[in-house]
Amino acid sequence: MRVLIAGVDGYLGWPLALHLRARGHEVAGIDAYFRRDWVAEMGSQSASPIRRMSERMAAFGEHFGTSLVFRRGDLRDYGVVKNMVRAFRPDAIVHLGEMPSAPYSMVDVDHCVYTQTNNIVGTLNILFAMRDECPEAHLVKLGTMGEYGTPNVDIPEGSFDIEYRGRKDRLPFPRQAGSWYHQTKVHDTNNVTMACRIWGLRSTDIMQGVVYGTRIDEMADDERLVTRFDFDQSFGTAINRFCAQAVVGLPLTPYGKGHQRRGFLPLRDSMQCLTLALENPPPPGEYRVFNQFEDVYDITELALAVQRAARNLGLEVEVRNMVNPRLEAEEHYYNPDHRRLLDLGYRPSGDMAAELRTMLADLLRWRGRIQSHVHALAPDIRWSGSREKCGYLP
Amino acid sequence: MRVLIAGVDGYLGWPLALHLRARGHEVAGIDAYFRRDWVAEMGSQSASPIRRMSERMAAFGEHFGTSLVFRRGDLRDYGVVKNMVRAFRPDAIVHLGEMPSAPYSMVDVDHCVYTQTNNIVGTLNILFAMRDECPEAHLVKLGTMGEYGTPNVDIPEGSFDIEYRGRKDRLPFPRQAGSWYHQTKVHDTNNVTMACRIWGLRSTDIMQGVVYGTRIDEMADDERLVTRFDFDQSFGTAINRFCAQAVVGLPLTPYGKGHQRRGFLPLRDSMQCLTLALENPPPPGEYRVFNQFEDVYDITELALAVQRAARNLGLEVEVRNMVNPRLEAEEHYYNPDHRRLLDLGYRPSGDMAAELRTMLADLLRWRGRIQSHVHALAPDIRWSGSREKCGYLP
């Protein structure tokens, strides 16, 4: 299969290129390196010493015997997208090329508008390029479990059968996102759904839980093949933050009461799921949704799991709750379905403790890179709009 | 009350300024005149001979003894929005300043991207300006009944109580819009809902049916006060198209089978409803939705009503169905609620025949302006992406 990865320089895009190539697929990538800029703007850097794309491509060629087809380009430019699609003629496009941070989108009006236009326009350009150049191709797009928010009912995979006032229909499940970034994924969901309906495109939209981990097997201990690992307040997830805090000896900081519940899965399982979606495309015209995660954890449970894994490596850290810079439910019902990927053959690797051990061991090697940017861990981007460092809760 | 109207040069914005001023409110407006440009781009013009803003403002001043506070400006520019809000200090902002045409948004990728960015960014800028400059103000925003699409169940006003797998919640009603333009209203709905939740802003989002009519009482037969009336394939609604066709002797053209059902209301009732929303604001933090229309008609019924009204004026026209350039359900269930405005005191004027008579009489005076742009009535913007004139159905 010929797979074009938009956002191939990112946390998921890079390992996906390795993983798909190892399975024999032809891979092309496009990226404008914006993620590197955004993280620098947050005063941080990847904990892992990721290489320039030229070095990454050289290592890719050495390992797999074929080069990665790569173009530097901005998805907001329709000519760039159309020409890339026309030249590579993909069977599938994996769209990972969006601005993925909730706090970054909440900084101010400029960051909000940038996030929404960047994400929406990139996706629209891909949809039009597909319609005009490769209408049979399969769009695998990254949504987020955060699109659904935290309703007081079960969360189905994308749509649900309802009965309302005695009549029945199958309708999209209501979305209630909690940041300007998360809203862009809802906007995408609506736009992509319509493109499938009116143009007969096919798409799998992956409502992804929080992905964690520093490696997949295909990286083969070659540090030139490592993927990025962000820990700053904007681009690091809670689990990344806890791991980074553990290796530099800082308290692990759940926000607020710390009983937010989210779905998680390791990086290697994310690769497995994306590959299953790619290798089992839906029929033309179908907009298909997968909820992609393995287990649901309460954020405090997660902090305690990181604390235990750190202790096993001789690192003693405490858990201290911090003022929540976000406005979100800190205690809520959470029971999302995640059946479809399992039905396609997803086998969860299932050992979070082992994965955390690997992550912490990797991060210990890169400890200096975290230590030198440790200020970036402290949150001050508040959903209220103020910019004030959050302190510990009493 | 101090009311800022974004899009004051438009079909609804201009009469709303007159109507609110006549009720004693202080009115300011902002507009970039884009609607005039878009209609010109479609090769058309307003059937009514609308005046330049300077003439409109002079007439406004003569009639009401006070001038309209007006700034020319683009809502995509945050500085423009913030400065206007800071200077005028509105109690309410009525946001009518969006690109409102489904066909225009479907022309090509550029028109799609323009529509989505224009509409989304304008609304985001207004939300941030409210947060920072007038957090107590009330945002009255125009959505569209088209956000809901045509589900096989009743359509509530914005949100609904559901039971799903034995648990209950009140959730946003699912949106299934049918054009890139209609999607922007869904995106706005999601963005505004979040702003109310996280910042405590208050908003009334009006899911408006199709508004028709050429006049309100406050225009007082002064042609300098007339509002625009578009009939081209993009900016004219079905009812405008039928009326324009009737006065130039062309067949009235329902698209496809012609059994699409939509809610309609006359311009004077739209003014009444917007005023009710403004004079009865929700509490801070509430995102309130009104479905605003009076009666539901099947498009063919509507064509027959226009045919009858035309006959009474001595105009004989036939009804001929035309190839549908859109992809939409042409026969469907449709039963939307519209209780809340009635509960607030909305008294529908209720005489479509009389309103059609007035419209046709006005349009007969402006017949030459339609005749000279009659080609703009013929649809060729197809949802499929092709650009081919639609013929009559056999």
CATH of the domain at A9: 3.40.50.720
Residue A121 and residue B233: Cα distance in Å, rounded?
Answer: 26
Q: List the single residue in B179, B190, B383 with the smallest CB-CB distance to A183.
A: B190
Q: List the single residue in A121, A124, A151 with the smallest CB-CB distance to B171.
A: A151
Q: Tell me: the pLDDT tens digits for A107-140? A: 999 999 999 999 999 999 999 999 999 999 999 9
Residue B393 in domain: no
Predicted local confidence at residue A8, as pLDDT: 98
> Per the CB < 8 Å rule, is B116 touching A124?
yes
The total of structural domains in chain B comes to 1
Predicted local confidence at residue B151, as pLDDT: 98
Residue B239 in domain: yes
Q: List the single residue in B113, B172, B333 with the smallest CB-CB distance to A121.
A: B113
Find all residues with CB under 8 Å of B206, minimum gap 6, and list them: B140, B141, B142, B143, B273, B274, B277, B289, B290, B292
Residue B145 and residue B100: Cα distance in Å, rounded?
Answer: 13
Residue B390 in domain: no
Contact A224, B207 (CB under 8 A): no
Is residue A249 predicted with pLDDT exceeding 90? yes
Chain B touched by A117 (CB under 8 Å): yes
Mean pLDDT, each 10-residue run in order, chain B (394 residues): 98 98 98 98 98 97 95 98 98 98 98 98 98 98 97 98 97 98 98 98 97 96 97 96 98 97 96 98 98 94 98 97 96 96 95 96 98 97 96 95
Chain B touched by A158 (CB under 8 Å): no
Element (H, E) at A274: helix A267-279
Q: Tell me: the pLDDT tens digits for A354-393? A: 999 999 999 999 999 999 999 999 999 999 999 999 999 9
Is residue A282 predicted with pLDDT exceeding 90? yes
- The whole-angstrom distance between residue A392's C-alpha and the CA centroid of its chain comes to 28
With the CA atoms of A7, A8, A13 and A17 taken in that order, what torsion angle do they form, in degrees rounded to the nearest 10? 150
Cβ under 8 Å to B: A residues 161-190: 162-165, 167-169, 171-180, 183, 186-187, 190
Predicted local confidence at residue B350, as pLDDT: 83
Predicted local confidence at residue A234, as pLDDT: 98
> Per the CB < 8 Å rule, is A153 touching B167?
yes
Question: What residues pair up with A259 in beta bridges, in sequence order?
Answer: A331
Predicted local confidence at residue B367, as pLDDT: 98
> Per the CB < 8 Å rule, is A198 touching B384?
yes
Q: Tell me: the pLDDT tens digits for A128-180? A: 999 999 999 999 999 999 999 999 999 999 999 999 999 999 999 999 999 99
CA distance B55 to chain A (A): 35
> Does pTM surpass 0.95?
yes
Report percent pLDDT > 90 for chain A: 99
| Domain housing B145 | 2-377
Residue A136 and residue A90: Cα distance in Å, rounded?
Answer: 9
SS (H, E, C) chain B: CEEEEECCCCCCHHHHHHHHHHCCCEEEEEECCHHHHHHHHCCCCCCCCCCCHHHHHHHHHHHHCCCCEEEECCCCCHHHHHHHHHHHCCCEEEECCCCCCHHHHCCCHHHHHHHHHHHHHHHHHHHHHHHHHCCCCEEEEEEEHHHCCCCCCCECCCEEEEEECCEEEEEECCCCCCCHHHHHHHHHHHHHHHHHHHHCCEEEEEEECEEECCCCHHHCCCHHHCCCCCCCCCCCCHHHHHHHHHHHCCCECCECCCECEEEEEEHHHHHHHHHHHHHCCCCCCCEEEEEECCEEEEHHHHHHHHHHHHHHCCCCCCECCECCCCCCCCECCCCECCCHHHHHCCCCCCCHHHHHHHHHHHHHHCHHHHHCCHHHHCCCECCCCCECCCCECC
> Per the CB < 8 Å rule, is B112 touching A131?
no
- Select from A304, A306, A292 the least CA-distant residue to A358: A306
Residue B394 in domain: no
Is residue A190 predicted with pLDDT exceeding 90? yes
Question: Which token pair is A385?
Answer: 């709009």
Q: Tell me: the pLDDT tens digits for A218-230? A: 999 999 999 999 9
Residue A392 in domain: no
Contact B21, B13 (CB under 8 A): no
Residue B309 and residue B302: Cα distance in Å, rounded?
Answer: 11
Task: Tell me the chain B residues in contact with residue A192 when contact means C-beta distances shorter than 8 Å.
Answer: none
Is residue A23 predicted with pLDDT exceeding 90? yes
Best mutation site among A175, A324, A337 for testing chain B: the one with the most B CBs within 10 Å?
Answer: A175
Is residue A266 predicted with pLDDT exceeding 90? yes
> Per the CB < 8 Å rule, is B153 touching A176?
no
CA distance B389 to chain A (A): 19
Nearest CA in chain A to B382: A198
CA diameter of chain B: 63
Side chain identity, residue B181: Y
Residue B391 in domain: no
List A115, A144, A150, A275, catalytic entry: A144
Predicted local confidence at residue A350, as pLDDT: 83
Report percent pLDDT > 70 for chain A: 100
Residue B388 in domain: no
* Residue A144 bears catalytic tag: yes
Residue A271 in domain: yes
